Structure 1
Amino acid sequence: MQAIEILERLVGFPSVVGTPNGEIVGWIRHYLQRHGIVVTEIAGPEGDRSNLFVTIGPRETPGYILSGHMDVVPATEGGWSSDPFRLRAETDRLYGRGTTDMKGFLAVVLAAVPALAAAQLRRPIHLALSYDEEAGCRGVPHMIARLPELCAPPLGAIIGEPSGMRAIRAHKGKAAARLTVRGRSGHSSRPDRGLNAIHAMTDILVCASAEAERLAQGPFEHVFEPPYSSLQVGTLKGGQAVNIIPDSCEAEFEARAISGIDPATLLAPLRTMADALRQRGFQSEWRELSAYPALSLAADAPLARLLGELTGVEPLAAVSYGTEAGLFQRAGIDAIICGPGDIARAHRPDEFILANELLACQAMIEALARRCIA
């Protein structure tokens, strides 16, 4: 099957983040098995979704991982010109949810499997396909934990997020959390009898704003835009009516950290204040939503040099968005981002990828295979 044909099948699976992914996993597993590939399915704790890991070539020899996620963001936003889960071709554009982020990369990788299986690879090429990346990289840690028993220590991982086929060496880390504050309701004419949850949350919001301003003062890492860690309040919900004391309030916070900083620590002052609310009679619940570390690969790292040679373009120092690459690096595996498409098209109506971007990705994988044969 050609890459576009495979992409059509992949887009047809509405593998929305946070939902069961058995259909797309089953199709990919069957496709790989038809080409004689042994597939390891790694179920997550949710019980209804899985990662897939395969090795093409000698598993006892260090090789390279081609990594991508099977999930996509929802397509409920307005503005789609056609069914987002049905591939539509128009000139050289291929429209559909996930075409750029990142089923286009998966389609090219899967299309390359027959040739890779037929080649006499001296170094293996592994495929690592994950779930729920769009919810903060929740699936891939379960697969990374299994790697020591699945393959020799890899030489590197190529994460195929959309980068215009220019390799990227760094991104920020991220942590997100939800805080729920519960007080006591009542009539607004008697505030002395209630506990206003929105008022209590206000203290946390002020702290978040102050922390954001403090982080903007440094430390700095100038490969990023902005060159400092950041923190923001992303959502805020609470209250029923203006004359009712609100008994609950919920807010979601996000922190993005430059290299060398654990993003979860940036949220720590907020959690400390949330815990202190209990002394005033409120209940508070802090729930971590997602977390992944920053990626920072040295410019002279062998993997960075390799991707420069495979693509013919010097790797870019850094991007603002995050990926699973930092998790591979934290596990001791050098990682880099390189994939077809443009991140600016992702998570938007009429998401698309160009046919020639798929061809460029194919050329990169073929060049990698030649390195693994030599």
Structure 2
Amino acid sequence: MDKTTDTDRLAHCKTLLAELIAFPTVSSEGNRALTEYLAAHLHDIGAKVWTEPDATGDKLNLFATIGPDCDGGVILSGHTDVVPVTDQPWSSDPFEMSERDGRLFGRGTCDMKGFVAACVTMAPEFVRRKLKVPIHFAFTYDEEIGCFGAQALTASLLRRGIKPAAAIIGEPSSMKVIDGHKGCFEYTTWFTGLEGHGSAPDRGVNAIEYAARYMMKLVELREALKARAPENCPFDPPHTTINMGMLTGGVAHNVIPGKARLDWEMRPVQPADAAFVKAELEQLVQGELLPEMRKKHSAADICTDIVAEVAGLLPEHKNPARDLVMAVTGENDAGLVPFGTEAGLFQSISIPSVICGPGSIAQAHKPDEYLDVAQLSLCLKMLGRLGQRLETGPLM
């Protein structure tokens, strides 16, 4: 019989979290060392583990399974990358966890190595239980810069024929149950014109002018999207939004700008809105802007780079993942969040998904990021109850 106490689990989890914080897994630097550490740890306790690298080899996804080799079960999902600490006024070393006044300080404590540490802490207990369905661990790279790791991982799950029945994404939600958020699609559009002397503007192709016309189309589309809001949409605002973040170009007052760059985003409430915006922009570019530009300069161009297209998590009437987490947390309802997560990617491959994790998003990305010890304790208890439930059979 396992005689591990809640105090023992919490102490072990804090120790493991400190070890994870010591890996400076800023997205630009990679997460390989941390992931290999977790893979070895999970393998040693009996989990079935596989990892997959990105193209550089510096970043790894990890997928591990405890329990029977069958469909169903639950994914516990977390990302291992963190945002930079450059120029942030930390009062302690961000990569050396410290505990003060019931709070654990360090980069990634709440976003979201605390959840990862809690999952791995509970892994030996999952191994000891006679699970009827598996518990999977999915730890990814590059969530902070576009959910690229989760995109690769979900593709791998489809290719390998792995079919979990639910996914719990442990982003910081103060252990509240979250079943919805908008998507986040980010783009950079580049405009190439023809430089010339400002005294003869008709002899050049002014890249900024065409960027401005493109931007005004985005403003027009932003208004049109308000009328496309789904009936009874729970999001605030209830329609897809568009924001222009930065417009740059040109070199001097008296030079026709040959280059311009527009950074913009949209946050879809439904996939059809993204398709609508793209189609309208393509018609503008191919039917109007480019023909005008190329009359004067055949090499003129407009091209758009996809920075990230992160699917939203759409609230669903039937969501066994949400119902499961409500049962093991005691929460009576589910809410929405304004920030994006990897949850929508799991939902997009037909895995019911929900967000529930320790800590508050209000502490994420800031100097002196912290996780309340009480939140970590609640997460461990939730995972313990999840293990008990999966001993008895199906999710619900």
TM-score (norm 1): 0.93
How far 1:77 sits from its partner (Å)? Answer: 4.2
Distance 1:234 1:272, change over 3 A: farther
Report the equivalent of 1:273.
284
Report the equivalent of 2:86.
76
1:166–1:314: 8 Å Cα contact kept in structure 2? no
Which 4+ residue blocks in structure 1 deviate beyond 6 angstroms?
none
2:268 aligned to which of 237, 249, 257 = 257
Report the equivalent of 1:174.
184
Q: Structure 1 vs Structure 2: percent identity of aligned residues?
A: 37
Structure with greater Cα Rg: 2
Report the equivalent of 1:321.
339
1:112 aligned to which of 108, 122, 129 = 122
How far 1:353 sits from its partner (Å)? Answer: 0.8
| Residue 207 in structure 1 maps to residue 217 in structure 2 | yes
2:67–2:132: 8 Å Cα contact kept in structure 1? yes
1:182 alignment partner AA = T
CA distance in 1, matches of 2:264, 2:251: 22
Alignment of 1:51-62 (within 5 A): 51-62=61-72
CA distance in 2, matches of 1:344, 1:228: 24
Report the equivalent of 2:24.
14
Report the equivalent of 1:243.
254
Distance 1:134 1:268, change over 3 A: farther
2:172–2:358: 8 Å Cα contact kept in structure 1? yes
2:46–2:66: 8 Å Cα contact kept in structure 1? no
Report the equivalent of 1:37.
47
Distance 1:70 1:263, change over 3 A: farther
1:17–1:135: 8 Å Cα contact kept in structure 2? yes
2:243 alignment partner AA = Q
Distance 1:262 1:101, change over 3 A: farther
CA distance in 2, matches of 1:167, 1:301: 12
1:77–1:349: 8 Å Cα contact kept in structure 2? no
How far 1:7 sits from its partner (Å)? Answer: 1.3
CA distance in 2, matches of 1:67, 1:332: 15
- The secondary structure found in structure 2 opposite 1:254 is strand
CA distance in 2, matches of 1:365, 1:225: 31
How far 1:262 sits from its partner (Å)? Answer: 5.2
CA distance in 2, matches of 1:18, 1:185: 35
TM-score (norm 2): 0.89
Distance 1:195 1:176, change over 3 A: same
How far 1:227 sits from its partner (Å)? Answer: 1.3
Report the equivalent of 2:313.
295
How far 1:69 sits from its partner (Å)? Answer: 0.8
- The secondary structure found in structure 2 opposite 1:100 is helix
1:258 alignment partner AA = V
Q: Which moved more, 1:257-266 or 1:314-323?
A: 257-266
Report the equivalent of 2:135.
125
| Residue 305 in structure 1 maps to residue 316 in structure 2 | no
How far 1:150 sits from its partner (Å)? Answer: 5.0
2:340 alignment partner AA = G
1:357 aligned to which of 375, 386, 391 = 375
CA distance in 1, matches of 2:243, 2:344: 21
Q: Deviations over 1:9-61 (max 9, x none)?
A: 21222212244321111221122223232310022234431210000011224
Distance 1:210 1:236, change over 3 A: same
CA distance in 1, matches of 2:272, 2:334: 21
Q: Which moved more, 1:325-334 or 1:142-151?
A: 142-151
2:106 alignment partner AA = G
CA distance in 2, matches of 1:118, 1:9: 24
Q: Which moved more, 1:49-58 or 1:222-231?
A: 222-231
Report the equivalent of 1:331.
349
How far 1:79 sits from its partner (Å)? Answer: 2.9
1:258–1:294: 8 Å Cα contact kept in structure 2? yes
Q: Which moved more, 1:352-361 or 1:74-83?
A: 74-83
Q: Which moved more, 1:297-306 or 1:134-143?
A: 297-306
1:317 alignment partner AA = G
1:263–1:293: 8 Å Cα contact kept in structure 2? no
- The secondary structure found in structure 1 opposite 2:64 is strand
How far 1:273 sits from its partner (Å)? Answer: 2.8
1:229 alignment partner AA = T
- The secondary structure found in structure 1 opposite 2:178 is coil
Report the equivalent of 2:7.
none
| Residue 50 in structure 1 maps to residue 50 in structure 2 | no
CA distance in 1, matches of 2:183, 2:146: 10
Q: Which moved more, 1:274-283 or 1:90-99?
A: 274-283
Q: Deviations over 1:231-251 (max 9, x none)?
A: 111222212222222211111
CA distance in 2, matches of 1:149, 1:197: 43
Aligned pair count? 374
- The secondary structure found in structure 2 opposite 1:165 is coil
CA RMSD of aligned residues (A): 2.0
